[in-house]
Amino acid sequence: MNDQLTNVAAPQDASRAADHGETKPSARDVSAAREPPSMPSMLSDARIVETRRLAAVAAPRIAVPLLLITGIVPYLVNLGAYPLYTKGEPREAVTVFDIVHGGGMILPMRAGVEIPSKPLLMHWLAALVSLAAGSVNEWTVRLPSALLAIAGMVVCYVYVRRLFEERGALLSALMLGTSFQYLQAGTGARVDMTLAFFMEVAFFEFLMIAEGLSERTTLLYVSVALAVLTKGPVGLVLPGLVAAIWVVLWRRWGLLRCLRLGRGIAIVAILAGGWYVAAILAHGSAFVYKQVLSENLFRLLHRRGFYEGHAHPFYYEEGALVAGLMPWSPVALAAAIQWIRMPRRLDPRLSYLIVWFLTVLIFYNLPQSKRGVYLLALYPALTTIVALFISDAVTHRDTIERWVHAISRAAGATFVIVGAAGLVGLLALYIHPVSIRWVLSLFGILADVTPALKATARDYLLFTIAIPIFIAAIGVYLTWSRPKAEKMVFAIAGGFACLVLAVNLIVEPATAETLSLKTFAAEAMRIADTHPMGYFGSLDYAFAFYSGRDIHYVTGREPDPPDYIVSTDDGYKLMPPAMRQRYSVVIESGPTDLDNTGQMFLLKRTDISSAPSDAP
């Protein structure tokens, strides 16, 4: 009976070893052989049935549609239904707007005044979507990230299935697609998900070539080139560094011939280097300083006098990783226990995942400027490592049974509390909204989002009620059912996806409507009409995007200042007194920050006649 269970549990390992020409038993075969020889017949039969069911779910005909559905719910539902309101999204959206509206393909000036900070692959993709859709809007600038996030899940499944096993492949892809940092990057108009997708393909393709599972090299080098075209040299440095370390560790010198490095250099030089040459010819030293030096070299070498945003201590990324991997961080701890108690053989494939994970993590610890999203490239490696050991725990349930039990109960209790809190919050929103404002103020949220929350909750009333109930039901299931590793993963993924759906339908739109400058920009453009307009202070990308105009800076020393000026509240306070006396506030925006600050003003010169469009 144990032989039956072993054969059912590890068909993929045997086929992988046969494909690769291995004669040694796989790590799964070795660990499966350690199962106790005696087991009640009824229990063994039940476990065989469970294993077969899980194997059927992990097969491509079910796993791929399951992953697509799991991706569509959090990534595509309501994607374009709320305005841009953070700093990062409109900054990229302005570049897309400029490309579509004749600003140029090589290096359009952002809002007419700035060189973009990153290469333009993500912006080109969004521009193509915008041209197909007929306009540049929130949906078109976010869609490339969402589609590539879903594609990244499927790619993870396909590669891990080929390199390791089907069951681990499905678990890894589910964990990847429902991790917090991956979700955040996949629903925003930023370059990070585009970079992560092409680096994921490059990392996995190298291992496929190294292990003799593929002879193609074009996909590897095209992926590297596209990663470079997304965020610069890091798209080449990280895959190359991981490959070099792994080759040295395993002394795979013969692999260098298989990689056809000369061909690879030519592909990357033509695709990525060609754009860099064209951009340098277009903007010269300004481009070199902005994108080559400031965004790459100075951040890594800590150039004196160079201001770095997001400055954090060396160990910051580790904490960001724990937070970004949620809700799978506790599961990763259980996988580590499984590894200690029943280790897999550290073969070249598993060691490559470890090198991939550690190299990216250490690399991003080096610059002073750090963000959690920078680690996105290591998530496929990390979730695969975790999934493989959780897959082992499915076959050998006794190894970390108590850990699975504890995590399942904790996750279940969390989902029950979240679901109940959602229902109570919905009731309070209509009966006693002051209590909602008080609770939010405890977290530093002073902007009044309750009217927008009430409006979005009313628009999706059925979902607003059903989603918390469903989340709570998943919590009850985790709390009271017999804890099993695979049930834990599927239930946590489902519960977290539902939670994200609630955020996408209610919370995010309400926050965006409260903080966005979309309405303010439309009103400012109606008032200013075709009159000359300028910025005082820093450029606001959201206003630039929604105004649809290139608005240049003013200093107050111009002989003929513009009729209208847009300024932040801080900029208005710093305005020279003589300049301030020449302008009056026409309209004021709402807050752009959750702490109820960041208002913007439209100022009008007092010595010009009122335009007809000034009338309310």
Burial of 479 (0-12, 13-18, 19+ CB in 10 A): middle
What's the average model confidence in pLDDT over 75-79? 95
* Calpha distance 559→424 (Å, rounded): 60
Q: Cis omega (within 30 of 0) on the bond before 612?
A: no
- Residue 564 DSSP class: E
Residue of 447 and 19 predicted with greater confidence? 447
Asked if the model's pLDDT at residue 48 lies above 90, the reply is no
Percentage of the chain modeled with pLDDT above 70? 87
pLDDT of residue 314: 75
pLDDT of residue 41: 43
Strands 600-605 and 533-536: unpaired
The lowest-confidence range among 99-113, 207-221, 244-258, 385-399 is 99-113
Residue 534 to residues 202, 336, 538: CA-CA distances in angstroms? 45, 57, 11
Give the list of residues 6+ apart from residue 62 with CB closer than 8 angstroms, or none.
Answer: 56
Asked if the model's pLDDT at residue 242 lies above 70, the reply is yes
Our measurement of the distance from residue 491's CA atom to the centroid of its chain's CA atoms, rounded to an integer in Å, reads 22
Asked if the model's pLDDT at residue 195 lies above 90, the reply is yes
Residue of 211 and 27 predicted with greater confidence? 211
pLDDT confidence tier of residue 12, bands split at 50, 70 and 90: very low
Asked if the model's pLDDT at residue 54 lies above 70, the reply is yes
563-577 per-position pLDDT tens digit? 999 998 888 888 888
601 DSSP β-pair partners: 567, 588
What's the average model confidence in pLDDT over 589-606? 92
Q: Which amino acid is at 31?
A: S
* Calpha distance 74→71 (Å, rounded): 6
Q: What does the CA dihedral 389, 391, 397, 403 come to, rounded to 10 degrees?
A: 50
Burial of 132 (0-12, 13-18, 19+ CB in 10 A): exposed
Nearest Cα neighbor of 112 from 451, 546, 544 is 544
* Calpha distance 530→145 (Å, rounded): 35
Whether 449 and 506 have beta carbons less than 8 Å apart is answered as: no
pLDDT confidence tier of residue 310, bands split at 50, 70 and 90: low
pLDDT of residue 554: 86
Residue carrying structure tokens 């000034």: 614
* Calpha distance 2→48 (Å, rounded): 9
pLDDT of residue 197: 98
Nearest Cα neighbor of 495 from 427, 428, 410, 393 is 410
DSSP SS3 for 566: strand
pLDDT confidence tier of residue 44, bands split at 50, 70 and 90: low
Asked if the model's pLDDT at residue 353 lies above 70, the reply is yes
Residue carrying structure tokens 């007929």: 134
pLDDT confidence tier of residue 173, bands split at 50, 70 and 90: very high
* Calpha distance 168→186 (Å, rounded): 23
Structure tokens at 440: 């939010």
What's the average model confidence in pLDDT over 387-411? 93
Geometric angle at alpha carbon 300, from 296 and 302, rounded to 5°: 115
400 DSSP β-pair partners: none
Q: Which element (helix H / strand E) includes 536? A: strand 533-536
Average pLDDT of the chain, as a whole number: 86
Ranges of beta strands (E only) in 573-612 are 583-588, 600-605
Structure tokens at 64: 């791929």
Geometric angle at alpha carbon 383, from 378 and 385, rounded to 5°: 100
* Calpha distance 536→547 (Å, rounded): 16
* Calpha distance 457→510 (Å, rounded): 9
What's the average model confidence in pLDDT over 370-394? 94
* Secondary structure of 472-530 in HEC code, one letter for each residue: HHHHHHHHHCCCCHHHHHHHHHHHHHHHHHHHHHHHHHHHHHHHCCHHHHHHHHHHHCC
DSSP SS3 for 40: coil
Residue of 85 and 549 predicted with greater confidence? 85
pLDDT of residue 300: 59
| Helix residue spans in 274-378 (DSSP H) | 274-287, 298-301, 316-324, 329-341, 348-365
pLDDT of residue 221: 97
pLDDT of residue 311: 67
148-164 per-position pLDDT tens digit? 999 999 999 999 999 99
The pTM of the full predicted model, rounded to 2 decimals, is: 0.88
pLDDT of residue 117: 80
- Residue 372 DSSP class: G
pLDDT of residue 450: 94
The secondary structure of 404-436 as a DSSP string is HHHHHHHHHHHHHHHHHHHHHHHHHHHH-HHHH
Biggest alpha carbon–alpha carbon distance for the chain: 95
Q: Which element (helix H / strand E) includes 196? A: helix 192-210
